[in-house]
Structure 1
Amino acid sequence: MAKQFISISCLPTPTYIQSGHVIFQPGERHPNRKNFQFFVMMFMKRGHLFIAEDDQKYTVGPNEMFILQPHHHHYSWKPMEETTEYYWVHFTATGGYVQADQPQQVSPTISVPSIHYYTSPITMFIKKQQVVTDMDSVISIIRKIFANSRRSSESHADINQNTIEFWKAEQLFTDLLRQIQMQTREESSTTVIANQIQRYIEDHYDEKITYEQLGKLFHIHPNSISIYMKKAFGLTPNMLLNKYRLNEATKYLLLTTDQVSKIALTVGYQNVYYFSTAFKKYYGVSPSEYRKKYMSLKPDSTESATGTQLN
């Protein structure tokens, strides 16, 4: 396995471009490309990929992640020997990067003046090739990224819906990078797990999530989940989940004309009455009242965007 690191400046942050899924049959090869403009991040599901970057040959196996650099020569140095399947993500990093045998700090390409506050020049460190301990969870995020990206491209007529799906895809991509980047020495194991739980909740907020499920995913006792989260964030997983769901709901209320019942299902509430009750408790008004109140503050707002009324 390659013992190399890719250090990427996060000023500006890396940007998601597109993603997909591919299956190669025995005898087939990865495309031969020169000067491809994006990073290619691959997550192996099965089989072995024999890939070269310039003159360096690599073999990538199941449950491994591998990154190809932009503007380099990518090609197969040997055909597939078996059915090979992986998910891929293309992204760009305009903030500068370097590949080396050790992680390196990379200076940002944006000069940030410290007029009032100073933004630290953060560098993200990722192993070029690494084993992914929970590949199913990572692939689940990639599928969500692709689904949101696809919906965004299909909704050209609805600018607001396009915006929601675009930013969801970018947020999920950022969470993916956070999941695969190297852990810093300053982070305790409790903080690391709490951050992983937070990311999982935010990436899967529209699904059913249980303490038992979180315990199995992060290999800790279900009773420890709340302890870790309260210590790191001052919130239980359930409080964080509801807060995030309700925050997402406000975006749909203000940026779409979807009925409140549909928005409730979209953000993970199976019961629209429970959603309305939770929303009113958190924001002080019902979902329809919230929409009416804040839509009226927008220029050129219309009464037709009020949706279904809930008492």
Structure 2
Amino acid sequence: MEKEKYLRSANEVRSGGLRPVFQDFHLLRMSGNHDYPPHQHANYEVILVDRGPYTCTLNGAEISIGRHEVLVIKPGDRHSDHLHDGQRHYVLHFLLADEPSHPVSTVRLFNEWVLPQDQVCTAPMPNENAIFHALEEEAKQSDYYSAAIQDAMLEAFFWRMVRLLPAESLSPQFRRRSAEQDFAGRLFRLFEQHVKENLTVDELAGWMQISKRSLSIKCRALLGDSPAQLFTRFKVRKAAQLLAHTAQPVKEISYELGFENPYHFSRVFKRIYGVAPAAFRAGEERL
């Protein structure tokens, strides 16, 4: 006899009762092209592409995602779909709720300054179609247990999706729901305070009042990357905001954010965003 036992993970996120509540979903198959007029959402909308690309305008930014990618639209976002012949995607609506006293939570998933590009991640499930088929079956079954089962399936999908979103795009209130997220908040405040400097990992650990090893372990466990890489990504996201919303020269931005020189800045920016700073700005100006 062979027996394999798998224990509950010790790395638990204490969500404090915060959970997603399933509302509805639909599968959209396009025959022909159609531009859906601009609109605002009162709830969260998840778009998961089965056959792409899917393109839209989200808060003034052009977004294009392919198969096995997800776009998360938050309440209040300005959104317009640009639908194309032959594409197919799922649209899932949900709310965030506080249990048991508040049926609708005031906690936001995203930071108010989040870039539309940071509301995109890869599909959170190995076979993402399966969850929608299961949600459909429960909608057809529609018995005493169906709503609870739909919420449970959505909750697994939701937390896997959150894991794949950029950690710094999540709101402080949302991140505070984890007992360990105070660490992430302090780290990003430190990044903000020293964004114009090039702090070493030793210096970051000193400011956080923990050892270098503990800092690295916490960063990888909670935020998915090394302290140095998180600081670099934070700087580059700041740069993207300046490129999108100011006329400040690229050279000035690179020095203001502590990069060695504009060439180094351009290489790092392109590695993260896929285009050079000037091309990123040109794309924003065309919107």
TM superposition score category, shorter chain reference? 0.3 to 0.5
What TM-score, normalized to structure 1? Answer: 0.35
Q: Which has the larger radius of gyration?
A: 1
